Amino acid sequence: MLLRVRYRIYKLSTKLMKFYIERKPTSESRSLSFEFASIGFLIQSGFFELPLKKLGEIMKYMDYAATTPPHPEVARTIAEVMSLHYGNPSSLHILGEHSEQLLKKAREVCAGVLQVKPSEIIITSGASESNNAAIKGAALQFMNRGKHLITTAIEHPSVYECCKQLESLGWNVTYLPVNHEGTVTPEQVCAAVQDDTVLVSVMHVNNETGSINPVQEIGKQLKVQHPRVLFHVDGVQGFGKLPLSLQASGIDMYSLSAHKFRGPKGIGLLYVREGIKLQPLLAGGSQEGGRRAGTENIPYIVGMAKALRLAKEEQAQVAERLRHLRKVLIDGIAAIPKLVLNSPPDGAPHIIHFSCPGMKAEAMLHMLEEDGFLVSTRSACSSKKSEPSRILLAMGKSVEEASSGIRVSLGEEHTEQDIQQFLAALQCAVTRQEDLKGRG
């Protein structure tokens, strides 16, 4: 009960803060400067102390698939680089040279973690850009070879919508159906290849359900049966959780986003195997070997490199802990009769997805939030859409199930006690929803 009271105080103070920030002067006597002075007074008085400083103490963040809290070491590194090494790496003076050396070192660290060459790493603004750069870059570069692309029905919007856009421009796209666990098989992929197929794009781990595609086997079979077809993998939810060798898997392109492994937002990378040339999406500069124009964000690139290295070093230990917590959570959800599990038993260790048929997912989310648990209804990139989940419908779920999904995604900070407390809150939320339905 105390937690709910503190939560409601937090929500009220947040609304007030938004109100003060968004207000506009109503008369000449009430200037904008006065508005900012009011906000300053409230901040200095500690009015916003709960939402700004204490939220983490009263809430359990269980939405790691949407974004992860930055690693403290990464945050310190970014702050230091931002303060001291602000030169443009393209500049010829000493500050530019320092930034260029940091960029070179960060690229080498990223390449070392992925066991590829530094020249095969393209720095991007995140996985959405990486996915678009890989798919559109290959489609445009090799359109004289063919205009057929292959992907799956459960891809992230940055792949799915990219393919839809190319369809509208004249490309032919095959969207492979998935089984009830949300995966495709290597045989499916190879059977869909045509004489004019240029690219196959398959995600490693689905961001809603945690289903794992056999990308290693897909890549190997493609290279044997169709060696000219490029293979792209969206590795965002798999990196740091599952082992994957890019070289041994026949993967030609691989997308990552730093904020999914405790790095900063707005930075990512695209691995492109040596010898593959892509049509650049951005023109106007010679950065990234002419493959991606734009001044490099050195602090975030260095932060990404550190986060990448830490995630790789801690991968085995973290994955083992998460697998145990996932089993406890799945067993607990299965014991609540009204809920339907959507994640496969052998899915990624950090993502658990279930549906609440007959209940409102958003209401369930806010009930859990009142009890101190932050989860999501689906992929963060689609969470504000009201239609049923495209992913769950592709898996054969009913419209009711696809409209009432809840995703829990875990991180290294969570404990078994957190899971037990969450399950108790979940049971309470289900009971409350059932009571509300009964009264209606």
| Nearest C-alpha neighbor of 229 from the set 161, 166, 146 | 146
Query: Residue ranges of the alpha helices (H) in 115-214?
Result: 127-141, 157-168, 186-192
Orientation angle between helical segments 416-439 and 361-370, nearest 10 degrees: 130
Catalytically annotated residue among 110, 163, 381, 428: 381
Residues 227 and 410 sit within 8 Å (Cβ to Cβ): no
d(CA 178, CA 206): 12
* Catalytic residue flag (residue 381): yes
- CB–CB of 182/154 below 8 Å? yes
CA distance 174 to 152: 8
Q: Report the C-alpha dihedral over residues 407, 165, 215, 244, rounded to 10 degrees.
A: -70
Please give the backbone phi and psi of residue 171, each rounded to the nearest 5 degrees, phi first: -85, 155
Closest among 205, 325, 312, 313 to 254, alpha carbons compared:
205
| Nearest alpha-carbon partner for 159 in 196, 187, 192, 199 | 199
What sections of 45-156 are H helices per DSSP?
49, 55-58, 72-84, 94-114, 127-141
Would you tell me how many other CB atoms lie within 10 Å of the CB of residue 270? 26
CA–CA distances in Å: residue 251 to residues 39, 185, 270, 363, 401:
52, 16, 12, 42, 34
Cβ–Cβ under 8 Å, residues 336 and 426:
yes
Catalytic residue positions? 381
